[in-house]
């Protein structure tokens, strides 16, 4: 990364004073921008993150570190995300050759065919196995460098949203009464960040119903189908959340026919990180099926399991592992 061309060194001297003035955290994150050519969204974040933290950050937003696979994509990112920042700034992209030196791979699995390294790059310095792109307003700036996993020389990261993030799925009986069990899939919409459950016919794959869940930054973790609670003949859908604002584990239950929110309540306790929700048969004989939530104590590593009644939401059985 740190081998610079003579041209860049001269460039550095010439605008060094300007860069100094801008170097004290002067840049704001970009907006999340749509590239209409491929329908993907992109955003630049100013963060002092390692590569691993950067990767996890994009994933926490249901995106991925950006993959740049064409000159047009370089130009879009360059003109819209990199032009407002200094040519002394570097940003992580989603590629690495850490597994095998010289064999770069995009984290999305896209083929490594387009490359845009600076002429001196990759310099293959010790540990320089992570891709960065340089800021600035000229296309000559938007070149790639191999950087360490952690560096004070890296100023942030670029996230890309290119597909819906599917979290989990559950069987939901025969929703359209055609003799086949149907499947409810939970995902985060990459365009809006909103959480949806889509029900598809198990035999034909036809989309039968789209149910909107939360529109916030809480992470949805799983889905369970439970018995009809409001007596309209359609089963309900329960989604487990880790509510960012409060740290609480929450279950939201919506009617699968109307999409109406029927219940919103806490499970586990705040010392536990929620992990999963699954459906269980009616164990206490009240005619309503149950659901099971699992949480992990991040300090001790212990796991807690609560089986709760689908109607009362009270604990029927619990265990600590
Ligand atoms: Ca891409
Ligand atoms: Ca069906
Ligand atoms: Ca119902
Ligand atoms: Ca029950």
User: Are residues 21 and 87 both part of a single domain?
Assistant: yes
Please name which ligand lies nearest the alpha carbon of 179.
Answer: 2
| Domain assignment of residue 74, yes or no | yes
Read off the tokens for 206: 């036809």
**SS3 state at 294:** strand
Around ion ligand 4, residues with a beta carbon closer than 5 Å are 282, 284, 286, 288, 309
Nearest listed ligand to the Cα of residue 208: 2
Give residues with Cβ within 8 angstroms of 306, minimum separation 6: 267, 268, 292, 293, 294, 315, 317, 318
Shared domain for 311 and 197, answered yes or no, is yes
Q: Are residues 190 and 290 in the same domain?
A: yes
Strands 207-212 and 156-161: unpaired
Confidence of residue 12 (pLDDT cuts 50, 70, 90): very low
Least confident stretch, 35-44, 110-119, 208-217: 208-217
Q: Going by C-beta distance under 8 Å and a sequence separation of 6 or more, which residues neighbour residue 123? A: 1, 2, 3, 145, 146
Note the pTM of the prediction, 2 decimals: 0.74
Mean pLDDT for 44-63 is 94
Ligand closest to Cα of 289 equals: 4
- Tell me if 220 sits within 8 A of 214, measured CB to CB: yes
* Burial label, 314 (beta-carbon count in 10 A; 0-12, 13-18, 19+): exposed
User: Does any domain span residue 1?
Assistant: no
Same domain, 204 and 227: yes
- Alpha-carbon separation of residue 69 from 38, 62, 152, 199 (angstroms): 12, 20, 26, 33
Instruction: State how far the Cα of 212 lies from the Cα of 249, in Å rounded to an integer.
Output: 19
Same domain membership, residue 286 and residue 266: yes
Q: Which domain holds residue 173?
A: 165-320
Share of the chain above pLDDT 90, in %: 82
């Amino acid at each position: 990364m740190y081998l610079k061309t003579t041209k860049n060194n001269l460039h550095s001297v010439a605008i060094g004073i300007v860069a100094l003035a801008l170097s004290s955290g002067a840049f704001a994150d970009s907006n999340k921008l749509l590239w209409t050519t491929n329908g993907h969204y992109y955003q630049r974040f100013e963060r002092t993150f390692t590569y691993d933290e950067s990767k996890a950050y994009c994933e926490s937003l249901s995106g991925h570190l950006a993959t740049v696979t064409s000159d047009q994509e370089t130009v879009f990112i360059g003109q819209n995300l990199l032009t407002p920042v200094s040519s002394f700034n570097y940003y992580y992209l989603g590629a690495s050759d850490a597994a095998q030196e010289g064999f770069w791979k995009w984290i999305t699995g896209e083929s490594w065919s387009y490359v845009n390294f600076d002429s001196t790059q990759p310099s293959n310095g010790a540990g320089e196995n992570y891709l960065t792109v340089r800021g600035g307003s000229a296309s000559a700036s938007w070149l790639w460098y191999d950087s360490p996993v952690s560096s004070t020389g890296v100023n942030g990261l670029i996230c890309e949203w290119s597909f819906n993030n599917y979290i989990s799925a559950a069987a939901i009986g025969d929703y359209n009464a055609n003799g086949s069990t149907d499947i409810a899939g939970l995902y985060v919409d990459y365009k809006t960040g909103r959480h949806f459950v889509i029900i598809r016919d198990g035999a034909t794959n036809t989309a039968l119903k789209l149910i909107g869940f939360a529109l916030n930054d809480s992470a949805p973790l799983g889905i369970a189908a439970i018995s009809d609670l409001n007596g309209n003949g359609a089963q309900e859908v329960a989604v487990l959340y880790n509510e960012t604002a409060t740290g609480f584990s929450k279950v939201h239950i919506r009617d699968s026919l109307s999409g109406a929110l029927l219940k919103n309540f806490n499970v586990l306790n705040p010392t536990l990180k929620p992990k999963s929700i699954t459906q269980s048969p009616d164990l206490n004989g009240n005619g309503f099926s149950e659901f099971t939530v699992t949480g992990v104590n991040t300090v001790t590593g212990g796991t807690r399991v609560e089986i709760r009644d689908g109607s009362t939401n009270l604990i029927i059985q619990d265990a600590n592992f």
